Amino acid sequence: MLTVLQQWPQWQLSNQPPQGAQALPGGLTNQCFLLDMPPQRYVLRLEAGNSEQLGIDRDVEYRIHQAAADAGLVPEVKFRSRDGRYWIRDYVQGWLLQPQQLDANVLEQMALLLHRVHQLKVEQLDDVDLIARGDLYWRRICRQRQPLPRLHALVAELRRQLQGWPSEQRCVCHMDPTLGNWLRVDDRWQLLDWEYAGWGHPDWDLAALVQDAGLDQQQQAQLLQAYGRQPDDVWFFALAQLQYIAALWYCAQGIWGQTQLEAYLLGVQALLD
């Protein structure tokens, strides 16, 4: 960290070094610090070092982030280190979305913002391979612990069932629009943390939000209606895919144990029946 701070002249953001660096809460794939560099404050983000294990392409993330910044969806990156290990963006004062705030009005705002994400233009993006990401998480789980044979069999069967795309649609997707990534700034929302973003299916973003927020049937219907979607077979397949990936990610990060993973995946399997 000290080495990074000593590089402040390269940033060309101030004529004096940072007056302080305060760790910001949250973040399993990055570490963020609030920098005081009068007259401005900035966020310094350090890559956590597990990008490859989590299937994160930092160059793709940066390109999509900057396109989103141009559209006013996220603060612009002001400096990126040559090795891509850290970057600096403006600090914006706001508050994170809380589950109890998910009324019909907020869900509509979120749906409209995701629609704007899906209209972003970023050239030469590879398709997001959800199953390959799941394989990365599963291999990490297997290295960390010894999954029971029945869990191996369940993951293998779901992997087979969830191959492919929900439909032919393709667009830029955030891929992680969980509640902790929604920041209210003045009278609008901004969407943070684009490390999983890529060329995906629009339903994956909606499904990721449904899965993380635990939206009930009425809330799901409100979200989909605001986006212009109906809960058809394409939607339920995308939802099952995201639930599968999210469950493996939680376990790979040590948030869930094997018992919790198995119980959740059985629920995903039931959704496919």
What is the CATH topology of the domain spanning 2-90?
Phosphorylase Kinase; domain 1 (3.30.200)
In the beta sheet, which residues pair with residue 5? none
Domains 2-90 and 95-272 share a fold: no
CATH T-level assignment (fold) for domain 95-272: Aminoglycoside 3'-phosphotransferase; Chain: A, domain 2 (3.90.1200)
3-state secondary structure of 35: strand
Res. 26: pLDDT tops 80 = no
DSSP 196: T
What would the pLDDT profile of 136-171 be if each residue is shown by its tens digit?
A: 999 999 999 999 999 999 999 999 999 999 999 999
Q: Please report, for the chain, the start and end positions of each structural domain, with discontinuous segments joined by +.
A: 2-90, 95-272
User: Is the model's pLDDT at 1 over the cut of 80?
Assistant: no
pLDDT of residue 51: 63
Report percent pLDDT > 90 for the chain. 81
Of 76, 108, 53, 112, the closest CA to residue 223 belongs to 108
Tokens of 70: 């141009």
* pLDDT tens profile 42-69: 999 998 766 666 668 889 999 999 999 9
Q: Give residue-wise pLDDT tens across range 233-248.
A: 999 999 999 999 999 9
Strands 182-185 and 77-80, by their bridges, are: unpaired
For the chain, how big is the Rg over CA atoms in Å?
19
Q: Is the peptide bond before 147 cis (omega within 30 degrees of 0)?
A: no
Q: Mean pLDDT across the chain, nearest whole number?
A: 93
| DSSP structural state of residue 127 | B
pLDDT for residue 28: 64
